[in-house]
Amino acid sequence: MPSYPYPPLLPGSNSIRLLRLKPPEDETAPIKCQLFNYSLDGSDKGPPRYEALSYIWGSPENTLPIFVDEHQFNVTENLYAALQRLRDRSIKWIWIDAICINQQNQQERGHQVRSMAKIYGRAHRVVVWLGGAADGSDRAFEEIRARKKWLNSSGNEIIQQAVLALLQRPWFRRIWVRE
C-alpha cells in the first residue's frame, strides 16, 4: 500500500499540521479526517485553538485503517481507539504526532520532535489517552475526580489497587511525564 502523500509544511520553523476529525455518520462509520497546515506564530487565519493528544502509540504490527483526506492511513490500535473516542466529542482540531508528522521524512520528523514543547505548550488543551478501561480504571478515575482520600483510607483496598494499576500504564513511564 502506498504511503500517505503528505503536503509540504508551510515555510518557516513554526509550521505544523493539524488534524480535523470529521463527525461520524454513525458509530460504525470509518474514521475520516483531514490534515491542514497551520503556523504556530499566529500568522495563519487557521483554527484559533487546537488540542494535542498525548498517548502511547502501541504495537506497530497491530494497525487499523482510518482515512486522511480520503487516503487510507494505518494507525495503531491504541490510536484508533483514541480517535474513536475523540471523534464523538466537540474536538475540532487536534495535533497527533503519528499522523501530523510525516514519520518517513527524517528531517521533518527531527524538526517537529524538537518543536514538541512549543506544540504542546500552545495547545488549548492536552488530551491524554491512557488506553481503554481495564483493571478498575473507571472506578479509579471516579474516585480521583471525587477527590476522595483513597490513598489514606484502609477500607478502600480495591480502589487503591485500581489507582495503582492505572499509574502503572506505559504513559506514566515516559521521562517527560515523570519530571
Confidence of residue 56 (pLDDT cuts 50, 70, 90): confident
**One-letter amino acid of 124:** H
- CA proximity to 95, closest of 172, 16, 177, 152: 16
Q: What is the pLDDT of residue 178?
A: 47
Higher pLDDT, residue 96 or 1: 96
pLDDT of residue 88: 72
pTM of the complete model:
0.76
Specify the 3-state DSSP secondary structure of 170.
Answer: helix
Residue 12 φ/ψ region, left for φ over 0, alpha for ψ in the -120 to 50 degree band, beta for the rest: left
> What is the residue-averaged pLDDT of the chain?
80
Q: Does residue 38 surpass a pLDDT of 80?
A: yes
Decide: 98 and 75 in contact? Cβ < 8 Å.
Answer: yes
Residue 156, pLDDT above cutoff 50: yes
Cα 74 off chain centre by: 15
For every residue of 14-74, DSSP letters joined together read TEEEEEEEPPPSSTTSPPEEEEEEEETTS---S-S--EEEEE----TTSEEEEEETTEEEE
> 84-142: per-residue pLDDT in tens?
888 877 668 899 999 999 999 999 999 998 898 889 888 988 888 876 666 665 666 67
The confidence band for 3, taking pLDDT boundaries of 50, 70 and 90, is confident
